[in-house]
């Protein structure tokens, strides 16, 4: 008798229902059989185990086998309606989910790392107003996405939503493209940030006599004249010359403060009541991000004494810290603190990237799907998929060694690529109709949902155009913006994967009747 049959017989004959479940779960997770056989084996085993345990219960109730999870758990029942069995423990509390989401976005730290670009684009007013515009734009997109996540909580996230909502003829291709885009975008900027901070630590700058208190007065006057201008009919200057910087280019780079607001979505299968808790985590992440990044931007601009020195610095944040404190020791402490925050946020990035890769492998979206969809029995998380994500991010970061311009373009484009995945399912939902496409859910935006879903693809397209503009003229090979090149190249790679293995991608199988019964109202 084969090991497969022995396991089934032992499970069915076991006097202890939990022991039978454990044997079957072990067989599924240990990779004794391939995907096709595993599905039929699991179905057969579930039928046998149900009969045995139902007879034991004596009350005629049917107990579902669910990988050692509570068979009556409504969260797991909702996951089954999405075509998947529960494979992970629900260990993330609502507070832990919020902590994971914000540690990925880390708005104040993220904005601290690239506000120098806004200074180049339009000066101090671009740093502040650009962040305000970015907050409104990103919150519209995130709010609409959080409602979709409330309706379809799954670790697959955006590609899962796209597969469910898209027309049958195009759903596989659209979901495959979206899934391939979002695997590793959360961790692309770490090597650049640390590199710059190390440079500042080992190459101290000479003192500059321009950083004195009379210069502070002049710098503040230059900053405040923009406010004074608003009250004295200077609209032509603001609207004519600065609108591009304030509303478009400024907000493009400022949106980096809100990168990765989808983080909580990818642990949907590891938290209780995900339909309710995912939207909370996503929107509270936006709120906390604004309340930390905006006051910091004001403090930096009012404390700056020399704009030129900041623009010419290899690390603008450290230069402004020095101008404010006039102490290199304090600056060193603050930079070490920021680096520590970056490192502490890495774990959350690996979690979400690993879960996304695992979910995509579970639906056979990547090569060696059976290997990477494995969940470690001892560690209770997808170790192989997480390691794959880490290796991919590290290789991506090595591009910095070959071209800083290309790497910076990748970093700038990372937020754009993520937002494309946020906008696509919302655009599909808007065109196909919310009423017939969304099941009962904890977050129901009603009429506001139409505004969010309709505006999301428009805003992402509009801002994406300006992200692709060159940073300066004339354009040369060394200073050109490689974002559109990378975007086209990435799409070409995805197309290659689609034509070589796209037919193996299956996507989630939705049971709409069960989904409507288990949906959180």
- Helix 328-362 and helix 190-202, axial crossing angle in degrees, nearest 10: 160
Interval 451-471 mean pLDDT: 86
Phi-psi region of 448 (alpha: psi -120 to 50; beta: other; left: phi over 0): alpha
Please say if the pLDDT value at position 109 is more than 70: yes
Q: Phi and psi dihedrals of 208, rounded to 5?
A: -120, 120
Interval 96-107 mean pLDDT: 90
Residue 294 tokens read as 């905006």
Closest CA to 424 of 375, 458, 389, 467: 458
Residue 480 has a CB neighbour count (10 Å cut-off) of: 17
Least confident stretch, 47-61, 262-276, 398-412: 47-61
Q: CA–CA separation, 134 vs 475, rounded Å?
A: 27
Q: What percent of the chain has pLDDT over 90?
A: 24
Please say if the pLDDT value at position 62 is more than 90: no
Under the banding of pLDDT at 50, 70 and 90, the label for residue 249 is low
Q: CA–CA separation, 495 vs 255, rounded Å?
A: 28
- The CA-to-CA distance between both ends of the chain, in Å, stands at 49
Under the banding of pLDDT at 50, 70 and 90, the label for residue 136 is very high
Contact 122, 249 (CB under 8 A): yes
Q: What percent of the chain has pLDDT over 70?
A: 68
Highest mean pLDDT among 57-66, 206-215, 287-296: 287-296
Least confident stretch, 31-40, 155-164, 243-252, 409-418: 31-40
DSSP annotation string for 413-475: HHHHHHHHHHHHHHHHHHHH-HHHH----S---THHHHHHHHHHHHHHHHHHHHHTS-SSSS-
- Assessment of whether the complete model's pTM goes beyond 0.85: no
pLDDT confidence of residue 49? 37
pLDDT confidence of residue 514? 82
Q: CA–CA separation, 231 vs 130, rounded Å?
A: 20
- Per the model's pLDDT, the better-predicted residue between 240 and 166 turns out to be 166
What's the CA dihedral at 200, 204, 209, 215 to 10 degrees? 20
Under the banding of pLDDT at 50, 70 and 90, the label for residue 410 is low
Please say if the pLDDT value at position 241 is more than 70: no
Please say if the pLDDT value at position 379 is more than 50: yes
pLDDT confidence of residue 70? 55
Q: CA–CA separation, 505 vs 172, rounded Å?
A: 7
Under the banding of pLDDT at 50, 70 and 90, the label for residue 219 is very low
pLDDT confidence of residue 402? 64
Residue 265 tokens read as 């979505």
Please say if the pLDDT value at position 24 is more than 50: no
Please say if the pLDDT value at position 208 is more than 80: no
Interval 143-155 mean pLDDT: 94
Please say if the pLDDT value at position 89 is more than 50: yes
**pLDDT, the chain, mean:** 74
pLDDT confidence of residue 48? 39
pLDDT confidence of residue 451? 95
Least confident stretch, 95-109, 248-262, 297-311, 357-371: 248-262
pLDDT confidence of residue 242? 46
- Per the model's pLDDT, the better-predicted residue between 32 and 368 turns out to be 368
């Amino acid at each position: 008798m084969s090991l497969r049959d022995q396991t089934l017989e032992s499970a069915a004959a076991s006097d202890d229902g939990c022991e039978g479940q454990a044997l079957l779960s072990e067989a599924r997770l240990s990779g004794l059989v391939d995907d096709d056989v595993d599905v039929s084996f699991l179905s057969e085993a579930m039928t046998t185990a149900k009969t045995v345990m139902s007879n034991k219960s004596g009350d005629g109730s049917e107990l579902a086998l669910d990988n050692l999870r509570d068979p009556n758990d409504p969260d797991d029942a909702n996951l089954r309606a999405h075509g998947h069995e529960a494979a992970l423990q629900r260990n993330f509390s609502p507070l832990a989910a919020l902590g994971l989401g914000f540690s990925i976005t880390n708005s104040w730290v993220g904005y601290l790392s690239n506000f120098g670009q806004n200074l180049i684009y339009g000066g101090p007013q671009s740093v502040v107003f650009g962040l305000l515009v970015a907050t409104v734009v990103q919150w519209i997109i995130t709010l609409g996405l959080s409602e979709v996540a409330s309706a379809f909580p799954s670790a697959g996230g955006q590609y899962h939503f796209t597969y469910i909502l898209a027309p049958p003829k195009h759903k596989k291709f659209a979901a495959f493209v979206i899934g391939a885009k979002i695997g590793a975008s959360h961790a692309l900027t770490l090597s650049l940030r640390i590199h710059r901070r190390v440079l500042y630590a080992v190459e101290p700058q000479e003192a500059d006599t321009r950083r004195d208190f009379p210069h502070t007065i002049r710098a503040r006057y230059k900053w405040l004249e923009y406010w004074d201008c608003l009250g004295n009919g200077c609209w032509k200057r603001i609207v004519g010359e600065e609108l591009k910087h304030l509303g478009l280019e400024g907000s493009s780079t400022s949106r980096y403060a809100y990168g990765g607001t989808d983080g909580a979505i990818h642990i949907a299968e590891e938290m209780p009541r995900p339909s309710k808790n995912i939207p909370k985590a996503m929107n509270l992440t936006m709120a906390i991000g604004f309340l930390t990044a905006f006051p910091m931007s004001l403090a930096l601009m009012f404390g700056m004494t020399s704009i030129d020195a900041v623009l010419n610095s290899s690390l603008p944040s450290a230069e402004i810290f020095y101008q404010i404190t006039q102490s290199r020791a304090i600056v060193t402490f603050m930079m070490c603190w920021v680096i520590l925050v970056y490192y502490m946020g890495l774990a959350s990035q690996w979690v979400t990237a690993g879960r996304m890769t695992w979910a995509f492998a579970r639906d056979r979206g990547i090569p060696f799907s059976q290997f990477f969809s494995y969940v470690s029995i001892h560690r209770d998380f997808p170790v192989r998929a997480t390691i794959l994500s880490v290796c991919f991010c590290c290789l991506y970061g090595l591009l910095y060694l070959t071209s800083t311009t290309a790497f910076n373009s990748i970093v700038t484009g990372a937020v754009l690529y993520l937002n494309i995945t946020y906008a696509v399912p919302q655009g599909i939902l808007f065109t196909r109709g919310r009423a017939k496409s969304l099941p009962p859910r904890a977050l129901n935006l009603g009429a506001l949902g139409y505004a969010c879903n309709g505006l999301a693809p428009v805003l992402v397209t509009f801002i994406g155009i300006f992200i692709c503009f060159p940073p300066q003229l004339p354009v040369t090979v060394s200073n050109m913006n490689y974002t559109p090149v990378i975007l086209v190249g990435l799409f070409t790679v995805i197309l290659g994967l689609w034509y070589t293995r796209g037919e193996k991608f299956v996507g989630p199988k939705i049971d709409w009747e069960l989904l409507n019964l288990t949906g959180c109202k």
